[in-house]
C-alpha cells in the first residue's frame, strides 16, 4: 500500500509535533527546515564553553509534555531529566527588593498574607477557579481546530465558556481578589507570555497562574533544546526524514491542489503540505495572490505579541543575588507595556528578564562562570540597530550591577545580541515578532488565522500564528490538532 506523502515546512515545536503525529498516523513525512539545525526559535548554540538556548526558557505545563510523549508509548524521562525550581523565580522591585516565589503552596500563601491580609486564602480560591479553566482549556478547548462554530455547540461547552470568564478581562479578574500592587503585578505577569495587556486578555487565561503556581516551574537539564532533541529523536524513530538547510521558496499549485514545493535545493512533491513556518510569510511570499488566505489589510490589522531584544552573555565570574529566573520590575513598567501595544516605540525604562541557567545546570558554562540570557520585551516592527542594541545592553547591565552590587562589564567574555532583524532573517518573522499573535478575545479560537487554506485542499498551517496560539505547550498541541485534521480529511 502506498503511504500518503506529507511535507512539513519548518522544524519548530509545532512543525516537529505535526510531523511526528502525521508519521504515527501512517504518512510518509519529510521536514524541510530553512536553518542548519532543527528547533526554530528554540535553537541552541555553543560558544566559548557556554551553551545558550536561543528562545524559550520557561518550562511550564509539564503535563502537556508528558501527555505528548505518552501518545507514542514514551515518557519525558526517556529523553531528559526535569528539575523543579524552588524558588520558581524571583521578582525584583524598585530599590532592589527581591521577592522569591516559593514552589510550595503553603509558603506561597504565607508570602501573599505578608503583603495583604487574607490574600493567601484568596489565592487558594483564585487557583481553584483557575484549575477548572486549566482542565477545560488545556484538555478540551485548545484541541479544537477552530474551523467551525459547531465545535463549541454543545451545551456543556457553551456553559464552560461562560463559566471560564471569556468575556471578562484578566486585569479586572485579578483585582477582584488582590489589591496590593506587587500581588497584582505578580498575578498579571504570566499573561505577558500571551502577548497582550491584562485589560485586553480574557480572564480565561488565569489558567496560566495555575500553570505557574500549582504545576510549577521546571528546567530540563542541558537546556530547553533537550525538548527539541527529544522530538527530533522521536521523529526519526517514526521514520520522519529531516532536511536542514532546505529553504522553501515557493508553493506551486494548479487548480485546488499544490503540485509541488520549490526549495533552494530542488523541488518536492507531496499529497499534503503543513506549513509550520511563519504563517504571514507563507501566505504573502510563498503562495500566489489567488491562493492566499488573507489580504495585506487583514495582516496589518492583527494585534501581534511583542518582539524581543535578546542578549546571550558569558561571564567569567559568579553572580550574587540572582536565581535561575529573574524578573526585573524595578521600574514602572505599565507605560512600557502600554507602548508595546498602542504606540510602538523603543521604551525609555524597559522591564527585562534575566535567566541564569548556570545556577541550576553546571553543564552550560565553564567552571566558575555564569551563563546569562537577557530579554527585553519590545514592540514588533521597530527598526533595530547596533547602536540601539548597545544602548539597551548598557542600560540593563547597569541595573543588574546596582542590584547585584557587583561590576559585570569587565567580566564579559562572550556577548551576542538578537532582535527584530534577526527574527526576520532567521525565521521570516512577521514584523520581527517573537511570540506570534496576541491572545486577545478577537484573536481567540475561530478568530485566529485558519489552520486550513481556503483555496487549496492540501495546504494546512500550524504554529504560533494559528490555533491554539503562542507558547511551547500550545505549539506542541497545534501540531497534534493539524495532524488530526489532515488525517480526517485524507482518510
DSSP of 41-80, one letter per residue?
GG-EEEETTEEEE-S---B--HHHHHHHHHTTT--GGGT-
Residue 153's pLDDT is what? 64
Do 109 and 179 reside in the same domain of the chain? Answer: yes
Of 198, 215, 232, the last residue of a domain is: 215
Do 314 and 417 reside in the same domain of the chain? Answer: yes
Residue 67 C-alpha cell reads as: 501527555
pLDDT band for 166, please (50, 70, 90 cuts). confident
- How do 266-268 and 257-263 pair as beta strands? antiparallel
Kindly state whether residue 11 falls inside one of the protein's structural domains: yes
Kindly state whether residue 98 falls inside one of the protein's structural domains: no
Specify which residues 452 forms β-bridges with. Answer: 460
Q: Which of 154-158, 324-328, 439-443 has the lowest mean pLDDT?
A: 154-158
CATH number at residue 122: 1.10.405
Kindly state whether residue 478 falls inside one of the protein's structural domains: yes
Do 407 and 330 reside in the same domain of the chain? Answer: yes
Q: What is the mean pLDDT of residues 267-288?
A: 98
Higher pLDDT among residues 158 and 469, named by residue: 469
pLDDT at 397 over 80: yes
> For the segment 184-219, what is each residue's pLDDT rounded down to a tens digit?
999 998 887 677 789 988 898 999 999 999 999 999
Kindly state whether residue 343 falls inside one of the protein's structural domains: yes
Rounded Cα distance between 7 and 268, Å, is 8
Residue 156's pLDDT is what? 61
Of 193, 215, 237, the last residue of a domain is: 215
Residue 139's pLDDT is what? 85
Residue 161's pLDDT is what? 61
**Checking phi first, is residue 83 left (phi over 0); if not, alpha (psi -120 to 50) or beta?**
beta
Do 68 and 112 reside in the same domain of the chain? Answer: no
pLDDT at 152 over 80: no
CATH number at residue 254: 3.50.50.60
Q: Which of 62-71, 126-135, 337-346, 355-364 has the lowest mean pLDDT?
A: 337-346
Going by the DSSP 8-state scheme, the letter that residue 193 receives in this structure is G
Q: Which of 215-219, 246-250, 312-316, 441-445 has the lowest mean pLDDT?
A: 441-445
Picking from 353, 371, 385, the residue whose alpha carbon sits closest to that of residue 223 is 371
Residue 45's pLDDT is what? 98
Picking from 61, 29, 150, the residue whose alpha carbon sits closest to that of residue 475 is 61
Picking from 35, 53, 192, the residue whose alpha carbon sits closest to that of residue 15 is 35
Q: What is the mean pLDDT of residues 435-458?
A: 93
Rounded Cα distance between 361 and 83, Å, is 10
Rounded Cα distance between 274 and 268, Å, is 13
Residue 162's pLDDT is what? 63
Helices 181-188 & 105-115, crossing angle to 10 degrees?
140
Residues 6+ apart with CB under 8 A from 181: none
DSSP of 322-380, one letter per residue?
--SEEEEE-S--HHHHHHHHHS----SS--EEEE-GGGT-GGGS-TT-EEEEEEEEE-T
Residue 392 C-alpha cell reads as: 539597551
pLDDT band for 85, please (50, 70, 90 cuts). very high
Residue 155's pLDDT is what? 45
Do 359 and 377 reside in the same domain of the chain? Answer: yes
Specify which residues 266 forms β-bridges with. Answer: 263
Rounded Cα distance between 283 and 198, Å, is 30
Do 291 and 310 reside in the same domain of the chain? Answer: no
Q: What is the mean pLDDT of residues 263-284?
A: 98
Rounded Cα distance between 474 and 467, Å, is 8
235, 213 contact by CB (below 8 A): no
φ/ψ of 188, rounded to 5, equals -85, -15
Kindly state whether residue 422 falls inside one of the protein's structural domains: yes
Domain that holds residue 195: 105-215
Rounded Cα distance between 374 and 198, Å, is 23
Residues 6+ apart with CB under 8 A from 222: 51, 80, 81, 361, 363, 364
240, 29 contact by CB (below 8 A): yes
405, 161 contact by CB (below 8 A): no
Q: How many domains does the chain have?
A: 3
Residue 334's pLDDT is what? 62
Q: What percent of the chain has pLDDT over 70?
A: 95
Average pLDDT of the residues of the chain = 94
Of 215, 246, 275, the last residue of a domain is: 215
Residue 79 C-alpha cell reads as: 529523553
Residues 6+ apart with CB under 8 A from 311: 372, 373, 374, 375, 393, 415, 416, 417, 418
Picking from 264, 239, 226, 233, the residue whose alpha carbon sits closest to that of residue 35 is 264
37 CB burial (10 A radius; 0-12, 13-18, 19+): middle
Q: What is the mean pLDDT of residues 346-365?
A: 95
> For the segment 21-63, what is each residue's pLDDT rounded down to a tens digit?
999 999 999 999 999 999 999 999 999 999 999 999 999 999 9
Residue 491's pLDDT is what? 81
- In order of 30, 37, 307, 428, 460, the CA distances from 34 in angstroms are 13, 8, 21, 10, 18
Amino acid at each position: 500500500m502506498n503511504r500518503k506523502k506529507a511535507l512539513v515546512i519548518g522544524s519548530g515545536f509545532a512543525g516537529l509535533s505535526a510531523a511526528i503525529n502525521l508519521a504515527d498516523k501512517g504518512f510518509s513525512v519529510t521536514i524541510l527546515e530553512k536553518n542548519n539545525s532543527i528547533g526554530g526559535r528554540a535553537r541552541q548554540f555553543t560558544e566559548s564553553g557556554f551553551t545558550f538556548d536561543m528562545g524559550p526558557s520557561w518550562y511550564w505545563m509539564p503535563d502537556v509534555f508528558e501527555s505528548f510523549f505518552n501518545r507514542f508509548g514514551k515518557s519525558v524521562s526517556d529523553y531528559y531529566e526535569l528539575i523543579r525550581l524552588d524558588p520558581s523565580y524571583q521578582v525584583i522591585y524598585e530599590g532592589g527588593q527581591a521577592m522569591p516565589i516559593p514552589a510550595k503552596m503553603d509558603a506561597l500563601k504565607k508570602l501573599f498574607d505578608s503583603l495583604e491580609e487574607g490574600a493567601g486564602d484568596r489565592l487558594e480560591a483564585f487557583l481553584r477557579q483557575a484549575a477548572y479553566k486549566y482542565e477545560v482549556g488545556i484538555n478540551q478547548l485548545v484541541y479544537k481546530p477552530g474551523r467551525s462554530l459547531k465545535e463549541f455547540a454543545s451545551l456543556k461547552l457553551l456553559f464552560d465558556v461562560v463559566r471560564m470568564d471569556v468575556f471578562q478581562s484578566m486585569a479586572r479578574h485579578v483585582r477582584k481578589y488582590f489589591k496590593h500592587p506587587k500581588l497584582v503585578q505578580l498575578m498579571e505577569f504570566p499573561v505577558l507570555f500571551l502577548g497582550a495587556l491584562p485589560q485586553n486578555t480574557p480572564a480565561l487565561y488565569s489558567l496560566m497562574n495555575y500553570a505557574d503556581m500549582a504545576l510549577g516551574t521546571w528546567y530540563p537539564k542541558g537546556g530547553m533544546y533537550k525538548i527539541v532533541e527529544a522530538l527530533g529523536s522521536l521523529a526519526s524513530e517514526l521514520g520522519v526524514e529531516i532536511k536542514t538547510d532546505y529553504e522553501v521558496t515557493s508553493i506551486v499549485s494548479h487548480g485546488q491542489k499544490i503540485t509541488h514545493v520549490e526549495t533552494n535545493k530542488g523541488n518536492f512533491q507531496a499529497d499534503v503540505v503543513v506549513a509550520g513556518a511563519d504563517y504571514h510569510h507563507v501566505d504573502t511570499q510563498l503562495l500566489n495572490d489567488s491562493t492566499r488566505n488573507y489580504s495585506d489589510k487583514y495582516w496589518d490589522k492583527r494585534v501581534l505579541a511583542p518582539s524581543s531584544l535578546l542578549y546571550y552573555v558569558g561571564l567569567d565570574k559568579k553572580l550574587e543575588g540572582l536565581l535561575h529566573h529573574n524578573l526585573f520590575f524595578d521600574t514602572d513598567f505599565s507605560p512600557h507595556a502600554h507602548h508595546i501595544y498602542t504606540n510602538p516605540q523603543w521604551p525609555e525604562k524597559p522591564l527585562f528578564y534575566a535567566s541564569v541557567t548556570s545556577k541550576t545546570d553546571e553543564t552550560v558554562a565553564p567552571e566558575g562562570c555564569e551563563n546569562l540570557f537577557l530579554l527585553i520585551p519590545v514592540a514588533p516592527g521597530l527598526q533595530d540597530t547596533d547602536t540601539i542594541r548597545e544602548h539597551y545592553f548598557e542600560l540593563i547591565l547597569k541595573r543588574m550591577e546596582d542590584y547585584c552590587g557587583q561590576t559585570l562589564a569587565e567580566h564579559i567574555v562572550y556577548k551576542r545580541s538578537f532582535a527584530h532583524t534577526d527574527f526576520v532573517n532567521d525565521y521570516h518573522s512577521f514584523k520581527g515578532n517573537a511570540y506570534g499573535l496576541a491572545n486577545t478575545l478577537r484573536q481567540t479560537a475561530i478568530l485566529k488565522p485558519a489552520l486550513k487554506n481556503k483555496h487549496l485542499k492540501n495546504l494546512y498551517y500550524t504554529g504560533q500564528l494559528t490555533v491554539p496560539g503562542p507558547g511551547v505547550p500550545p505549539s506542541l498541541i497545534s501540531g497534534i490538532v493539524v495532524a488530526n485534521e489532515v488525517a480526517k480529511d485524507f482518510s
